[in-house]
Amino acid sequence: MTKQRSNNKAKSKVSVGWISWVWLFKFATVLMVVGVVALVYLDAQIRHRFEGYRWSLPAKVYSRPLELFKGQQLATGQLDYELTQLGYRWVEHAKAPGQVQKTNKGIAIYSRGFRFADGDEQGFLVEVSLQKNTITDLRQPSGASKALLRLEPQLVGGIYPAHNEDRELIQLNDLPNGFIETLLAVEDRNYYTHYGISPWGIVRAMWANIQAGSVVQGGSTLTQQLVKNFYLTDRQTIWRKLIEAPMALLLNIHYSKDEVLEVYLNEVFVGQAGKRAIHGFGLASRFYFGQPLSELKLHQVALLVGLVKGPSYYNPQRHPKRATKRRNLVLSILAQQGLISDAQKMQYQGLPLDLTEASQVSRYPAYMDVVRQQLQQNYQPSALSSHGLRIFTSLDPWVQHQADTAMAEQVKKLNQRHGKIDGLQGAIVVSHRDSGELLALVGDYNGGYAGHNWALDRSRQVGSLLKPVVHLAALETGRFSPVTIIDDGPVSLPQPDGTLWQPQNYDRKSHGKVPMYEALAKSYNQANVRLGMQVGVDKVLQQLRRMGVEQPIPAYPSVLLGAVEMSPLQVNQVYQTIAGNGFYSPLSLVRQVTEANGLLLSHFPFAVRQAASNDATYLLQHEMRMVANYGTARGVYQYLPKQQQVAAKTGTTNDQRDSWFAGFSGQHVATVWLGREDAKPTPLTGAGGALHVWGQLMQHLAYTTYEDIKPQSVEHYYLNITTGKTMPNNCPNGVWLPIPKTSAPSFNTTCGY
Amino acid sequence: MYNNQITSCKFVSLISLVIFLGACAAPGYGPIVEDLSVQARVSERMSVLPNNVSTKAPTNTTVVSPPPAPVVTAKPKPYVAPKAVVTITAQPISNQVITQLATQEDTPVAVQEASLPASDQAVVEQLLTEADQLKAQGKVTQAVIQLQRAQRIAPREPKVYARLAALQLSLGEASRAEQLALKGLTLVPNKKSYQYYFWKLIGASRSNLGDSQGEAEAIRQAAKYK
């Protein structure tokens, strides 16, 4: 034992120095290992995140592009409006994309070019000659005349992921002149020479701050700022402080300065729009100026760069004074550093902020709602919110603008005329007559909508709007024509429960024997019920189904007077079929979907299905033109020029709970509904309410001729308007109406009055 | 002790190796400002594709790969939109139908197309020509898109319906073609050449649909306008 112990002792005595050296070595090794492991870990992390990182790019939703071609009819003010919405700037001489100029003949536009689903449209400079809102020529500077050009579409919304980050990716070569210089002058002067961190930068920033008496510069390099934004949470923790510098160093080692900068430009947070977080300078430029980044002038660049320090504090929309001060400070820094002259500084400081006039909150909530619904049938939510898909829709910004305006202004007037109508709501649907594309949707009378989309979500009784369907079913049988005489005497029909149904006319009078067109024009209930009963309620419902109304509807006679609940969208679908010569085409709003790089994923081919014969539909269209020229809808001519032909129908439900108006012009089909949220009675009839909204809307849409294509099977006759009998052309108060050749009326030699 | 030292040394060299390998494995600098996720992997790509195929595009789409240089994902700069990066060369879903029809020598479509009168709108003629070119290049989807553009610009131009219907028939969409031709008929009550053309097309569509009675009626109608 002792021997052993002493032996040990002796041994340990000998190796004291050696052991402490071992321990030191071990300790150092462990430290090194920990350090190296940490570095390896951080390194892997950085490379993984930097290269593998994919920004979730929300799907971008675009409006239809404005097509420019000879003969194109525009509405008054439309071109100016659309150019403003697209962020075009009016200048003396248009010489760069995004500029427009008034000329003697019209407008010179320097467009930006755009990648459409069907290929690239190059930017162009073209003079658009206009005569009374019609394009008469498109001429390029070379003198060449172009047949067709299109402007870029408007970005009308996005489909955002849960975290609501929105951005528009840019590359270094998208930057306008002076951008990098300005950014670096303010945020990181030695960016291109430091190693990711810059102790000297911190000292200089402190000195600058002391000189200025406030914090004008931050000490972090752009690389550090990116590390903070990109990899770390916002919380100020010691761990974060500890790894920020090594991560910045590593980032600097692995990637070129330009690569890091490019990521920074896309990552930086520059504002908040409601729930939507604006990231990157690309989107910031759209958001604040309505222009692509490449078009910005130095005073705008200075504002964007200045925003980095505090996007909400310097929010130029909310705090224009602060923002101006900050921008001018940035410009001063540029002058201090000799990047611009003092004269330039003064010049730029004197400029306004130049923010976009177009509102940046979603202007199309109802429309976007339907786009989202349609896309969700075809795409997974994650694909929509993160893959940067491009959605091309048929939304027409001008029509939408006019629909919103008509609703707001007319509802205001109605409230003035009738005293405030509590909870008055409204909806508008507008589609293109022959393609069935949805051009505009108003889902709420305020335009801004919270929850309910009255154009889609709510079905209300349609009242007399159903009468054209009764007439179509009648005309389809071949046994009726617009001049068939119908008895408008009192109607009494037994109901399943044994009681009698005795609908009355609106004026509570009977009008004797009337021609069919008169029954529609004056919306006589008794005559229309009698007509419907002769055709058969089931036949009418079959006709309605063929026009796209698929919900089960019990075949009661009350259906004939519109005891059927439909949404404004469904009503528009039915009227679309009438406007489309009897061909049903499903209302659509997504034209194409492409990937972020332009690869076409899907498109929605135009399809039609015959739902009624062209002959019968043609006769009905003319009956409905009579409704507008002479019947219950004639009030629309307060708004429209007499020569503009429209076909329409009013609708009023029991106790005036719903005020409807639906119809079409040469190019547009539109449906308007007004009513109370709680479905209580209103002071409004179809003609007293919805008609005015419809009239104002149509008044401001491009005027297009109503092209009337007469089928061979019918002939137009000059008729006595009240009797529906033919009469000589020189008789007063006559009307030209089509009648099937098979039921040609005998010719009368007297006027019959 | 001795063993321990060896272990430490091993450990250190292992770490150096890791670092070395790590450095070696560092990938080259690719385009970084781009969301490649939709192009990345087949499995991911699938999730982007429509669940319900209302499209002619993706299944056997030929993708002309963009050059390895960064692909423009944001809006292209004006005037410099690179043509080479246009990746849209969608092919029809069924090449069979195309080949089959192309070999049918006397398709009414092919015979008659030329004899239809020119549209009085230059812009329509331009779009129709473009659509023809696209179709000739096999870009049928693109051709359909151009025709629909023409239809929006000139919604009552029968020639647009004639082309749309013919194209749909060539795609094997006989029912769609028949309906488009029927709608086209409503626009040409006094134009014999069109009436003949549309009825021939309706006949061909109905024949494809196996509706021999309907076909006979269409042939009878067409004969009236020959």
Flag whether B30 is in a domain: no
Percentage, residues of chain A above pLDDT 70: 93
What would the mean pLDDT of A212-240 be, rounded to a whole number?
Answer: 70
CB contact under 8 A, A33 and B185: no
Find the range with the poorest average confidence among A63-67, A362-366, A509-513, B15-19: B15-19
Give the start-end residues of each E strand in A516-646: 565-566, 583-584, 590-594, 600-603, 609-610
Are A174 and A253 found together in one domain? yes
Per residue in A262-314, pLDDT (tens digit) is: 989 998 999 988 878 889 999 999 899 988 999 999 999 999 999 998 999 99
Q: State how far the Cα of A582 lies from the Cα of A570, in Å rounded to an integer.
A: 16
Q: Residue A227 has what pLDDT?
A: 84
A267 in contact with B at a CB cutoff of 8 Å? no
pLDDT band at residue A237 under the 50/70/90 scheme: low
Is residue A377 a part of any domain in this protein?
no
Residues A430 and A567 in one domain: yes
> What integer pLDDT is reported at residue A447 of this predicted model?
59
pLDDT score of A206 more than 70: yes
Q: Mean pLDDT over residues B93-114, rounded?
A: 37
Q: Residue B67: pLDDT above 80?
A: no
Q: Does B176 touch chain A (CB under 8 A)?
A: yes
State whether A310 and A171 are in the same domain: yes
Q: Which of A:688-747 have CB within 8 Å of B?
A: 707, 709-712
Whole-model pTM: value is 0.81
Minimal C-alpha gap between B81 and chain A (Å): 7
Residue A600 contacts B, CB cutoff 8 Å: yes
> What is d(CA B47, CA A377) in angstroms, rounded to the nearest whole number?
13
- Mapped onto helix, strand or coil, the DSSP state of residue A494 is strand
Say whether residue A433 is in contact with chain B using an 8 A CB cutoff: yes
pLDDT at B110 over 50: no
Q: Lowest-confidence range among A1-15, A489-503, A605-619?
A: A1-15
Residue B50 lies in a domain: no
Residue A485 inside a domain? The answer is yes
Residue A106 lies in a domain: yes
| Residue B161, domain member (yes or no) | yes
Q: Which residues of B touch A596 (CB under 8 A)?
A: 35, 38, 73
For the cut 70, the answer to whether the pLDDT of residue A232 exceeds it is no
Compute the nearest-CA separation of A262 from chain B (Å): 7
Residues in A touching B37 (Cβ below 8 Å): 54, 386-387
Answer yes or no: is B119 within a domain. Answer: yes
- Contact criterion met (CB < 8 Å) for B151 and A174: no
Structure tokens at A151: 């402007």
Q: Do B22 and A607 touch (CB under 8 A)?
A: no
A70 with A111, same domain: the answer is: yes
Cβ-based neighbour number of residue A477 at 10 Å: 12
- Single out the residue of A445, A463, A465 nearest to residue A454, CA to CA: A445
CATH number at residue A509: 3.40.710.10
A600 three-class SS: strand
**Active-site residue flag, A187:** yes
Same domain, residue pair A478 and A572: yes
Tokens read off for A189: 């002067």
pLDDT at A163: 72
Whether residues A679 and A732 fall in one domain: no
A379 touches chain B (CB under 8 A): yes
| ipTM of the complex as predicted | 0.84
Owner of token pair 């109901």: A495
Does some domain include residue B139?
yes
The answer to whether position B73 is within a domain reads no
Query: pLDDT at position A244, please?
Result: 79
Q: At what angle do helices A467-476 and A614-629 cross, to 10 degrees?
A: 140
User: What is the residue range of A109's domain?
Assistant: 63-153
Residue B160 within any structural domain of the chain: yes
Q: Return the DSSP state at A466.
A: G
A343 & A435 share domain: no
Longest dimension (CA), chain A: 151
| Across A539-567, average pLDDT | 94
Options A464, A523, A567, A665, the catalytic residue: A464
Is the pLDDT at A145 greater than 50? The verdict is yes
Does residue A674 sit in the same domain as residue A732?
no
Which residues on chain A are in Cβ contact (under 8 Å) with B189?
A: 709-712
Give the range among A150-159, A203-212, A305-314 with minimum mean pLDDT.
Answer: A203-212
Ramachandran region, residue A179 (left: φ > 0; alpha: ψ -120 to 50; beta: rest)? alpha
Instruction: Determine whether the interchain pair B58/A601 forms a contact, defined as Cβ–Cβ distance below 8 Å.
Output: yes
* Domain total in chain B: 1
Tell whether B116 is within 8 A of chain A (Cβ): no
B35 in any annotated domain: no
If one counts the domains in chain A, the total is 4
pLDDT at B99 over 60: no
Segment A168-178, tens digit of pLDDT = 888 898 999 99
Burial class (CB in 10 A: 0-12, 13-18, 19+), A425: buried
B-chain CB neighbours of A141 within 8 Å are none
Chain A contact for B22 (CB, 8 A cutoff): yes
| A214: confidence class by pLDDT, cuts 50, 70, 90 | low
Q: Does the distance separating the beta carbons of A600 and B57 come in below 8 Å? A: yes
Q: For residue B117, what are the domain limits? A: 95-225
User: Which of A152, A168, A187, A262 is labelled catalytic?
Assistant: A187
Give the Cα separation of B79 and A125 in Å (integer). Answer: 11
Residue A549 has pLDDT above 90, yes or no: yes
Check whether residue A682 and residue A548 sit in a common domain.
yes
A113·B76 Cβ contact <8 A? yes
Q: Does B70 touch chain A (CB under 8 A)?
A: yes
Q: Are residues A110 and A170 in the same domain?
A: no
The whole-angstrom distance between B201's CA and the closest CA on chain A is 16
CB–CB of A171 and B70 under 8 A? yes
Residues A652 and A610 in one domain: yes
Residues from chain B that touch A29, judged by Cβ atoms under 8 A, are: 8, 11-12
Please judge whether A598 and B179 are an interchain contact, meaning their C-beta atoms are less than 8 angstroms apart: no
B51:A378 CB<8 A: yes
Question: Beta-carbon neighbour count of residue A356 at 10 Å?
Answer: 17
Last residue of a domain, one of A333, A349, A365: A349
Quick check: is A442 in a domain? Answer: yes
Are the beta carbons of B56 and A111 separated by less than 8 Å? no
Work out the angle between the directed axes of helices B2-25 and A16-52 (0-180°, nearest 10). 20
Instruction: Give the domain CATH number at A86.
Output: 3.30.2060.10
Q: Are strands A583-584 and A609-610 parallel, antiparallel or unpaired?
A: antiparallel
Which CATH number do you get for residue B112? 1.25.40.10
CA torsion A259-A263-A265-A270 (nearest 10°) is -160
Mean pLDDT confidence for A148-154: 93
Selected residue of B4, B32, B185 to mutate for chain A interface (largest A Cβ count, 10 A): B32
Percentage of residues of chain A with pLDDT beyond 90: 60
The answer to whether residue A481 sits within a structural domain is yes
Query: Is A121 one of the annotated active-site residues of the chain?
Result: no
User: Cβ neighbours of residue B106 under 8 Å, at least 6 residues apart?
Assistant: none
Q: Are residues A279 and A428 in the same domain?
A: no
